[in-house]
Amino acid sequence: MTAPITDSVTGSVAGAVDPRSSTRRSTLARFLRRPAGAISSALLVLIVLIAVLAPWLSPMDPNAVDLSLTRALPSPEHPLGGDTSGRDVLSRLIWGTQITLWGALVAIATAVVLGVPSGLAAGYTGGAVDRIGTWISDALQAVPGMIILLIVAASTRNEFTLLMITVGVFMAPGYFRLTRSTVLSVRNEAYIDAARVAGLTNARIMGRHVIRTVIAPIVIQTALTAGMAMGMQAGLQFLGIGGGTTPGWGAAMNEGFRVMRTDPLLLLWPSLALGITIAALAVLGSTLADVISVKTVTLSRREKRRIAAAHAAAGAAPGPIGATTTTTGSISVAAVDSAVRLENLRVTYETADGEVEVVHGITLDVAPGEVLGIVGESGSGKSQTVFSMLDLLPRSGTSTADAIWIGGEDVTRLSRADRARLLGHEIGYIPQEPMTNLDPSYTIGYQLIEPLRAVHGMRKAEARTRALEMLERVGIADPARTMRSYPHELSGGMAQRVLIAGAIAGRPSVLVADEPTTALDVTVQAEVLELLRELQREDGMALVIVTHNFGVVADLCDRVVVMRSGSIVEIDDVAPIFAHAEHPYTRELIAASLDGAESRSELDAQEVHA
């Protein structure tokens, strides 16, 4: 059992408060601390209250006519005077608040209902759904909205709610584009892949991990769009469309405009009400955007720099298709006995220069309980090989194989959904970048418990107990506190331990680790490798470890596959490879990365003698 790590691992965890609620509180607190935020929200609360309490606040029926009140000046009984038909201006203004807000609400609800789900689907699934969604959105923007509104008004006899639904339809492309672009920006984040590898369904990933990132921009957009919807509604009523008997602010402005020279106050009141509301919404939206972006931009820049550094390391140019077409590799175990077996695996990518093959028909296998290292320089195709095992290639990549056996089953014959079901059960994955593989908006506890409940059908208490056990097993000294922490509160080594805990929680028979120590400090690297070695031995899992470092191979592996430019140049047990590697490239790699390290078998032999 791994001893609890106390310094680098536990040192950076925050106190026992629930950081999720404190983060939420602090965003709200930061928003309200800004004068613009406090004033705009106070004004909007007041306006909403006036709208809701209109029946009680309004001194008179807004449509009741009292001829003695015609164009009356403000008086104690009628604080804003009377209009040209002898109706109480204050009462009409109060009821107008309700009508105006209702109109904006209908338009926004329509735009959100149409724009957000379609934007989510287009951004997340891509392909035909994306193309059709974008086409409809572009087409809607090209249609002259005002003409359609006039047609709807004429054919529905100025039905106000229908008109506002039509306004909402024309606002939906704004939500569609915003949602789609936000989803596109997170769709390829490592933590989305990690959720997929943990076995979560697309619907669940979308509901839990993607929608969260969309909420903040949608709220900001809604504040700004509400002002636009009100302006549009007032404009329509000002033109005499959609007013009817409803005392909306736009209709009141229309009346006031006609008598502007003689009774300017009749234009002033509704204009003030509309102006103040739209201004408050605009200020609220932009303040909210400020407050939220102050928090997220700092984080995402840091994340982006990390990702950019990782990507910069993978620069080698892909070879042209057919450059190396021989099947490379060899088989040591019968298919049904293999933990994993790839037969003639090819990976191709659609690029601007056409289709490029980056893995050229490789064949390899891993026996149950075996540790297989996949070694090679940057760009040699190691990650593409394991991504193909996991069915985790990016959208532009395609893998084909004569067979891919996992747990005695040829998974190329399974449907995508059935194949996804193996993830988290049969095969677990430990990624290269621990931090980017954890969703920054959820606690560690949630991220460990969610797949255990969704994929393994555990009840909440059972999943929590398993998660705590797993954290303890990977050497985290205070699992309960770690469960309450957010990813940014963990050190890199601790985050990697959390991901290892998640990968083994479903007791997979194969564990795939893609350069699991690259992003970690040297001292932590050794601890994590030691942990992997212990877990693999205790559970008898097959371990496939991708690395460019022969030191790691010497430390951990039984057998090694050496890859170069998408092909396997050598496969052998570790001891013979170190003793007399056949391929000059293997010898070069060993010379470059090994600094007097001893192989696992030598170390094991020493342990036995000790």
Ligand X SMILES: Nc1ncnc2c1ncn2[C@@H]1O[C@H](COP(=O)(O)OP(=O)(O)OP(=O)(O)O)[C@@H](O)[C@H]1O
Q: Which of 148, 150, 154 is nearest to 170 (CA)?
A: 148
380 binds ligand X (CB under 6 A): yes
Find the binder of ligand X among 270, 379, 431, 492 (CB under 6 A).
379
Rounded Cα distance, 109 and 86, in Å: 35
- Length of the chain equals 610
173 by DSSP, 3-state: which?
helix
**298 forms part of the interface with ligand X (CB under 6 A):** no
* Residue closest to ligand X (Cβ): 383
Cβ contacts of 60 within 8 Å, gap of 6 or more: 87, 88, 91
Amino acid found at 315 = G
- Helix-strand-coil percent breakdown of the chain, rounded to 5? 60, 10, 30
The three-state secondary structure class of 156 is coil
Q: How far is the CB of 411 from ligand X (least distance, A)?
A: 20
Query: Which CB sits closer to ligand X, 223 or 392?
Result: 392
Segment interacting with ligand X (CB under 6 A) among 210-218, 270-278, 308-316, 520-528: 308-316
Please answer whether residues 500 and 396 qualify as being in contact, where contact means their C-beta atoms are separated by less than 8 angstroms.
Answer: no
Under the criterion CB under 6 A, does residue 32 sit at the interface with ligand X? no
Tell me which residue of 197, 220, 225, 224 sits closest to 209, measured CA to CA. 197
| Span 343-372, contacts to ligand X by CB under 6 A | 349, 351, 358
Six-digit token string for 532: 């992997």
* The two structure tokens encoding residue 178: 């915003």
Question: Binding mask 523-562 vs ligand X (x if CB under 6 A, - otherwise)?
Answer: -------------------------x--------------
Q: Kindly identify the residues of this chain, within the stretch 201-220, that bind ligand X according to CB under 6 A.
A: none
Residues in contact with ligand X, shown as a per-residue x/- string from 390 to 419 under the rule CB under 6 A? ----x-xx----------------------
* Contact flag: residue 376 with ligand X (CB under 6 A): yes
Nearer Cβ to ligand X (188/298) = 188
Nearest CB to ligand X, comparing residues 297 and 313: 313
81 vs 381 by CB, closer to ligand X:
381
Q: Does 382 bind ligand X (CB under 6 A)?
A: yes
Q: Write down the residue that tokens 């992003």 correspond to.
A: 519
**Closer CB to ligand X, 472 or 514, in the complex:** 514
Nearer Cβ to ligand X (399/536): 399
Angle, helix 35-52 to helix 89-125, in steps of 10 degrees: 120
Which of 10, 118, 338, 383 is close enough to bind ligand X by CB under 6 A?
383
Cα Rg of the chain, angstroms: 32
Identify which range of 266-274, 287-295, 378-386, 461-469 contacts ligand X by CB under 6 A. 378-386
In sequence order, what are the residues at sequence separation of 6 or more whose Cβ sits closer than 8 angstroms to the Cβ of residue 21? Answer: none
- Whichever of 52 and 309 has its CB closer to ligand X, that residue is 309
Q: Is 316 in the site for ligand X (CB under 6 A)?
A: yes
- Closest CB to ligand X among residues 255, 515: 515
Shortest Cβ 28–ligand X spacing (Å):
40
Q: Residue 378 interacts with ligand X (CB under 6 A)?
A: yes
373 binds ligand X (CB under 6 A): no
DSSP secondary structure letter of residue 395: T
- Which amino acid is residue 87, in one-letter code? R
Give least dist CB 293 to ligand X, A: 29
In whole angstroms, the minimum distance from the beta carbon of 497 to ligand X comes to 22
Residue 345 has φ and ψ, to the nearest 5°, of -80, 130
| Cβ–Cβ under 8 Å, residues 242 and 227 | no
Measured CA to CA, the distance from residue 376 to residue 84 in angstroms comes to 85
- Chain residues that interact with ligand X, rule: CB under 6 A: 313-314, 316, 318, 349, 351, 358, 376, 378-384, 394, 396-397, 548
